[in-house]
Amino acid sequence: MALFHDPFGPSPPMSTEDYTKLAKRKLPTMTWPYLSSGADDLVTIRDNREGFRKWRLRVRTLTGANKPELKTNFCRTKLALPLALAPTGMVGLAHWTGDVAVSKAAELSGTRHVLSTAASYSIEEVAEATELDHWFQLYPFGDRDKATELMNRAASAGYTALFVTVDVPILGNREAERRSGMTIPAEFRLGSILEAGLHPAWWWNLLVHRRTAPIHYVAGRRSAVAGAIEAVRAQQRYMQGDLNWDDVAWMRDHWKGPFYVKGIMDADDAAKAVDEIGADGVVVSNHGGRQLDSCQGAIDALPAIVDRVGNRCEVLLDGGVRRGSDVIIALALGAKGVFIGRPYVHALAVGGEKAVRHVIDIFREELHRNLILMGCPSVAALDRSWLIPA
């Protein structure tokens, strides 16, 4: 019976797409737009995927290369594969174990997670639950006291790299989210409440664990509703649309470790981040198509940014990475590594930490197999000579 279908049963998920389909079935309908959709007409979400289709992989046969090296190094950290987990806010909505499960899955898989400012678990809770140092994402709040507090807490809890997200001067127009009532504060509609009956475990965990509101904005663990209301007030207080490069420079000065600007889509901005601010790298990202719709797909923006700054900083990328072949294309175009967002959030919804590890394994296996099939000895050997325009 579908209600008792075990996702790890007879037909286990084989791809990130399988996890997305399962997550959609498993979660209450009202959460799905927040966890999967994007801005306006989803043009940029589509372009994030379609951009990868513009390239084909070169095949060099009979090279004897059958043990491809996947290990890499970015953010001054040795990683088992060139893929890490992007910051995602309020993932307690996907599964009550939230960011703790995600960070543990990342480190057990030889990679890292960037904890979001809008996380469901605190900087300290995640640090205590994990063995290795992780990375922290900061929204560049206009409130410097709040930004200082978060940077200091992250540094003392052992987070090594800081990612400042610069593509949210204002929230994108996420119409699907607004229609679903999954706004902050949530509008519980009759349909959603009736549908709740189909997801009793999810609602139980929501009420018992109260891991939905962004914990760094709200004091203590309030009830789901009180927490969400306070979160919106706090967000309005902290967020400022008129932030500029001086604010980011101030954060760079404050943070002693590796410093990345996330949400760069333009080569001039990348040069500014690196040459004027002193960033160690940039993340080419359009927030997974959740902010400005009809901006370029991330992978389409990558080559010009690599050409401009790739020789003096780490260029990383996220947006639409769903297959090992996508990772290969990004690396061949000059990215040092990639991040995934929705694929691990959807796995988390389906099966918690275990499923997040499985999604990373899917990428690892696809990378391994594809590099052998291409005749390529390592991820480090990838360059543009391995790509053919489609």
Known catalytic residues are 287
Interface with ligand FMN includes 341 (CB under 6 A)?
yes
Cβ proximity to ligand FMN, 330 vs 374, nearer residue: 330
**Residue 72: beta bridge partners?**
79
Interface with ligand FMN includes 349 (CB under 6 A)?
no
Q: Considering only residues 7, 28, 82, 87, which one is a binding residue for ligand FMN as defined by CB under 6 A?
A: 87
Pairing of strands 55-57, 387-389: antiparallel
Cβ proximity to ligand FMN, 48 vs 97, nearer residue: 48
375 phi/psi in degrees, rounded to 5: 80, 30
Residue 264 is given by DSSP the state E
- Within positions 124 to 183, which residues make up the interface with ligand FMN, using CB under 6 A? 137, 165
Q: Considering only residues 285, 308, 346, 367, which one is a binding residue for ligand FMN as defined by CB under 6 A?
A: 285
Whole-angstrom Cα distance, residue 14 to residue 323?
11
Bond into 12 cis (ω within 30): no
Least separation in angstroms between CB 172 and ligand FMN: 11
All residues at 6 or more sequence positions from 2 whose CB lies less than 8 Å from its CB, including other chains: none
All residues at 6 or more sequence positions from 133 whose CB lies less than 8 Å from its CB, including other chains: 77, 112, 158, 159, 160
Strands (E), 265-307: 281-284
Q: Considering only residues 16, 20, 31, 48, which one is a binding residue for ligand FMN as defined by CB under 6 A?
A: 48
CA 186, 42, 51 angle in degrees (round to 5)? 140
What is the per-residue binding string for ligand FMN in 194-233, x denoting contact by CB under 6 A? ----------------------------------------
Segment lying near ligand FMN (by CB under 6 A), choices 96-104, 147-155, 204-212, 341-349 = 341-349
Question: Do 92 and 211 meet the contact criterion of CB atoms below 8 Å apart?
Answer: yes
Segment lying near ligand FMN (by CB under 6 A), choices 14-22, 233-241, 284-292, 301-309 = 284-292
**Residue 283: beta bridge partners?**
262, 316
Which of 344, 341, 387 has the alpha carbon at shortest distance from 104? 344
Q: Considering only residues 22, 231, 345, 376, which one is a binding residue for ligand FMN as defined by CB under 6 A?
A: 345
Least separation in angstroms between CB 219 and ligand FMN: 19
Q: Considering only residues 174, 210, 287, 357, which one is a binding residue for ligand FMN as defined by CB under 6 A?
A: 287
Least separation in angstroms between CB 297 and ligand FMN: 10
Segment lying near ligand FMN (by CB under 6 A), choices 66-74, 83-91, 173-181, 307-315 = 83-91
Q: Tokens in use for 64?
A: 């004897």
Cβ proximity to ligand FMN, 214 vs 351, nearer residue: 214
- Within positions 300 to 319, which residues make up the interface with ligand FMN, using CB under 6 A? 318-319
Whole-angstrom Cα distance, residue 339 to residue 317?
6
Whole-angstrom Cα distance, residue 366 to residue 199?
33
Cβ proximity to ligand FMN, 70 vs 299, nearer residue: 299
All residues at 6 or more sequence positions from 145 whose CB lies less than 8 Å from its CB, including other chains: none
Interface with ligand FMN includes 77 (CB under 6 A)?
no
All residues at 6 or more sequence positions from 137 whose CB lies less than 8 Å from its CB, including other chains: 87, 114, 115, 116, 117, 162, 163, 164, 165, 262
Binding site for ligand FMN (CB under 6 A): 34-35, 48, 86-89, 116, 118, 137, 165, 262, 285, 287-288, 290, 318-321, 340-342, 345
